Amino acid sequence: MGTTVYERQRPAASVIAHALDGSRRSVFWLDDLPPQPSRPAVRGTVTADLAIVGGGYTGLWTALHAKRRDPDARVVVVEAKTVGWAASGRNGGFCEASLTHGRDNGLSRWPDEIDQLDRMGLENLDAMGRDIADHGIDADWERVGALGVATEPHQLDWLDDWATDAAARGERGVTRLDQAAVQAAVASPTFLGAVFEEHTNALVHPGKLAAGLARAAEEAGVQIFEGTAVRTLSDDGDRVVLETAGGRVSAARVALATNVFPALLTRNRLMTVPVYDYVLMTEPLTDEQLASIGWSGRQGLSDLANQFHYFRLSRDNRILFGGYDAIYHYGARVRSSYENRPESFEKLANHFFTTFPQLAGLRFTHRWAGAIDTSTQFCAFFGTARAGRVAYAAGFTGLGVAATRFAGDVMLDLLAGDATDRTDLEMVRKRPLPFPPEPAAALGVAATRWSLDRADHNGGKRNVLLKTLDALGLGFDS
């Protein structure tokens, strides 16, 4: 087996220790928010036309757009903790247009509708930017594009294929950068080449986006309840009842936006598994430190390995550096104890200084983790239950910042019984396969991770297991 650049070019242990020393185990994006309004819990009986379970992006977009469609509707959001505390407040803030976790994944599953899916994804991203502006949401939205960088020689062919395919389809704004060009954009000794996609990506401050969506929804008349976990969902005549510890919500329609958390519908219990992803945030770079990298285009970056990193600048010129380890825990539970994994933070710090050795001496202020909402098709699945009175969308697999807005519209279409371009999509109509129950899930994930790591060490070559999973359209990703 070969080695990766992170094994060949290791920074000094003292640089890592200094950088991590004093970092807080806390989510920068949430720490960076001004004090948020405190919202009540559900008490007694609340009635609504539409009740949404979950106050992440999916739930908040659904609420905001429900009021746009019908300003008189009584819309409530019921959130177990606080708005945006989970994936929506702790992600990388990459808003990718793709609704399918990248074109390749969408192409392999829905070849007949991939162009339509890509077009709808781009429209969704454009509309998201407009919504953010129209609602006066200050979420550090930057339409800066994205760089996919090769850090191993075998990935250069993938860059060529990517750029050639985009050119053949007449896609605008996709540029292949050679080593000198990528170095001129962002200086790292690990970057061998890149593809720049100008139009398909924006960056956002995840915490400000969640907080701003909640504020905008409330201004539109939505009522948000916090500290209220929904325990069960049941029928009550032609209404649906959500039971909580302190009361109940009776609603004509329900949208489930609970993502990777235990599903309220039995049919969805095995549809997602939480895969833990780890993130570091640096202190703000000085002008001199930033100049040593360049990065004047402020692009979002990720590398092309199976176990990949993603990194970006914040508005105040910190660097967020996340990814690589994707840790699954037996039993598929969401637990805060899984967020503390020193070896993952150390690995990330190592890889950070391999990527930017010129920043030796820089410190990390924050380290955190979150559960990636993995589904077997690597992107959201949708459906209805209870005679069409309940809709659900979940399983964004680490690419939900923009796709959740689209998902909210899908759920509203489904609940209204409207046939739209969205509900016509096979991607929306067909449910993917569930994950197997334990112990098969843990064994399968472990074998897949091992295979992906081997492929990264072996010129990208996929072994029999990965090829079989590819052929079955099954997999595990973050």
Ligand X SMILES: Cc1cc2nc3c(=O)[nH]c(=O)nc-3n(C[C@H](O)[C@H](O)[C@H](O)COP(=O)(O)OP(=O)(O)OC[C@H]3O[C@@H](n4cnc5c(N)ncnc54)[C@H](O)[C@@H]3O)c2cc1C
**Footprint on this chain of ligand X (rule: CB under 6 A):** 53-59, 78-81, 85-88, 90-94, 96, 229-230, 257-259, 261, 264, 277, 279, 370-373, 396, 398-401, 404
Please say which residue, 92 or 207, places its beta carbon nearer to ligand X.
Answer: 92
C-beta of 154: minimal distance to ligand X in Å? 25
In terms of phi and psi (left: phi > 0; alpha: psi -120 to 50; beta: otherwise), the region of 89 is alpha
C-beta of 323: minimal distance to ligand X in Å? 8
**Residue nearest ligand X (C-beta atom):** 400
Give how far Cα 175 sits from Cα of 96, 142, 242, Å: 17, 19, 50
C-beta of 276: minimal distance to ligand X in Å? 8
- Rounded Cα distance, 83 and 76, in Å: 13
Give how far Cα 373 sits from Cα of 297, 403, 404, Å: 30, 13, 12
Please say which residue, 9 or 250, places its beta carbon nearer to ligand X.
Answer: 250
Q: Can you tell me whether residue 305 is helix, strand or coil?
A: coil
Q: Tell me if 138 sits within 8 A of 207, measured CB to CB.
A: no
Residue listed under structure tokens 């402020």:
298
Please say which residue, 348 or 401, places its beta carbon nearer to ligand X.
Answer: 401
Please say which residue, 93 or 193, places its beta carbon nearer to ligand X.
Answer: 93
Q: Tell me if 379 sits within 8 A of 106, measured CB to CB.
A: yes
C-beta of 183: minimal distance to ligand X in Å? 24
Comparing CA positions, the residue from 202, 217, 208, 205 lying closest to residue 54 is: 217
Please say which residue, 15 or 391, places its beta carbon nearer to ligand X.
Answer: 391
C-beta of 271: minimal distance to ligand X in Å? 13
Please say which residue, 251 or 372, places its beta carbon nearer to ligand X.
Answer: 372
C-beta of 310: minimal distance to ligand X in Å? 6
Please say which residue, 392 or 466, places its beta carbon nearer to ligand X.
Answer: 392
DSSP 454-468: HHHHTTT---HHHHH
The two tokens of residue 143 are: 């339409």
Residue listed under structure tokens 């005679």:
387
C-beta of 279: minimal distance to ligand X in Å? 5
